[in-house]
Amino acid sequence: MDEYSHIPVLLNEALFYLQPKPGQNIVDATLGGGGYSMAIVRSVGEKGKVLSIDLDQDAIENQTAKNVKLNVKNLTLAHGNFAHIDRIVKNHGFPPPDGIVADLGLSSYELDQGGRGMSFQKQEILDMRFDRSAESEDARWLLNNKSEKELIKIFENYGEEKFSRQIARKIKVAENDIKYTTELYQIITDSLPKPVKHKAAGSARRIFQALRIAVNHELENLESFLPKAFDLLAPGGRLVVVSFQSLEDRQVKQFFNSLAKGCVCPIDFPQCVCGKNPQGKILTKKPVTASEQELKNNLRSNSAKLRAIIKN
């Protein structure tokens, strides 16, 4: 296996808002290349514990090898979906976490070396599944079996692509099943009006993003993860989430706002009758973004947005 590489985005900022301390128990809900996990391991020390989760078996195997090489003893690895974080924490007998962090971005390995068809820049089979050990539909199946109307919905909702209808139509009239990333990219290019064909790469990025989100049920998993993660936190525990596209960031923002708001009574009620109190305090008034230096060092940090909340 090629090295599971990934430059952790907003690492210093994530550690600042997570504030891991010696002896604490922290969950890294998205292990990836292990950048966050290893930094947290150093912060919590030998008396602390870290539980790291990933849906990608390659990520687990890579970190397992690192743990042996570096003699890391307080990092537990769990292969699974962070949408089931409550079950995973319980199954591993992990204490109520003092902090949970989730980096929702793809690793460099998944994008460049995984052979999963995540990128249109080289020919690969259209798979896009994070967990290839699961018997689930991949991007190739989705493209060739979903109706035109269903594809339009995926491209519009998850990719916010202006030419979703033209692209979906072209896919469904293709003579053969679409198998490779390069075939899909050519169809996307052919679907665009002449004046914007030179912008095909932008449309392709949005279509590939939409397919990946649909294949892996990313927004549904995030919707499930957020309340479970917050409920698991010990009092005073912190939840830090780094997102890379507007749909995810919007979801995180709305969830955090609902926790911080408390009362849901109509504005014209003279006094509160719902009895709901704020459950947390938002630590980031605006999303935290990458510094100029990080943007220079890592182009993939460009769209990253970090939000954090502390549990009352």
Q: What is the pLDDT of residues 25-75, one digit of tens each?
A: 999 999 999 999 999 999 999 999 999 999 988 899 999 999 999 999 999
Whether 116 maps to a domain, the answer reads: no
Please determine, for residue 120, whether its predicted confidence score (pLDDT) is greater than 50. Answer: yes
> What confidence score (pLDDT) does residue 107 get?
67
The residue segments making up the domain with residue 154 are 128-216
Q: Are residues 244 and 102 in the same domain?
A: yes
Are residues 180 and 116 in contact, defined by beta-carbon separation less than 8 angstroms?
A: no
Per DSSP, helices labelled H in 120-236 are: 139-145, 148-159, 164-172, 181-191, 200-216, 218-232
> What confidence score (pLDDT) does residue 110 get?
65
> What confidence score (pLDDT) does residue 108 get?
62
Please determine, for residue 3, whether its predicted confidence score (pLDDT) is greater than 70. Answer: no
Whole-angstrom Cα distance, residue 226 to residue 206? 25
Number of domains making up the chain? 2
CATH number of domain containing 245: 3.40.50.150
Whole-angstrom Cα distance, residue 29 to residue 259? 20
Local confidence band at 151 (pLDDT 50, 70, 90 cut-offs) = very high
Whether 263 maps to a domain, the answer reads: yes
Local confidence band at 157 (pLDDT 50, 70, 90 cut-offs) = very high
Domain-ending residue, one of 191, 216, 241: 216
Please determine, for residue 229, whether its predicted confidence score (pLDDT) is greater than 70. Answer: yes
Per DSSP, helices labelled H in the chain are: 11-18, 35-44, 57-70, 85-91, 108, 139-145, 148-159, 164-172, 181-191, 200-216, 218-232, 246-261, 292-297
Mean local confidence (pLDDT), 158-179: 95
Local confidence band at 264 (pLDDT 50, 70, 90 cut-offs) = confident
Please determine, for residue 101, whether its predicted confidence score (pLDDT) is greater than 50. Answer: yes
CATH number of domain containing 151: 1.10.150.170
Calculate the alpha carbon distances from 47 to 23, 42, 93, 95 in Å: 5, 11, 16, 13
Half-sphere exposure of 39 (CA within 13 A, CB side): 20
Please determine, for residue 109, whether its predicted confidence score (pLDDT) is greater than 70. Answer: no
Whole-angstrom Cα distance, residue 144 to residue 148? 10
Q: Are residues 143 and 164 in the same domain?
A: yes
Its pTM stands at 0.92
For residue 15, give both structure tokens: 């550690």
Whole-angstrom Cα distance, residue 13 to residue 19? 10
Please determine, for residue 2, whether its predicted confidence score (pLDDT) is greater than 60. Answer: no
The rounded mean pLDDT for the chain is: 93
Q: Whose CA is closest to 254, among 271, 241, 238?
A: 241
Domain-ending residue, one of 165, 195, 216: 216
Are residues 159 and 167 in contact, defined by beta-carbon separation less than 8 angstroms?
A: no
Q: Are residues 106 and 225 in the same domain?
A: yes
Give per-residue burial for 173-191: e unless 16+ CB within 10 Å, then b. eeeeebbbbebbbbbbbeb
Q: Which helix H or strand E contains 280, and what residues bound it?
A: strand 280-282
Whether 123 maps to a domain, the answer reads: no
> What confidence score (pLDDT) does residue 19 get?
98
Q: What is the rounded end-to-end Cα distance, in angstroms, of the chain? A: 44
> What confidence score (pLDDT) does residue 4 get?
60
271 against 108, higher pLDDT: 271
> What confidence score (pLDDT) does residue 1 get?
45
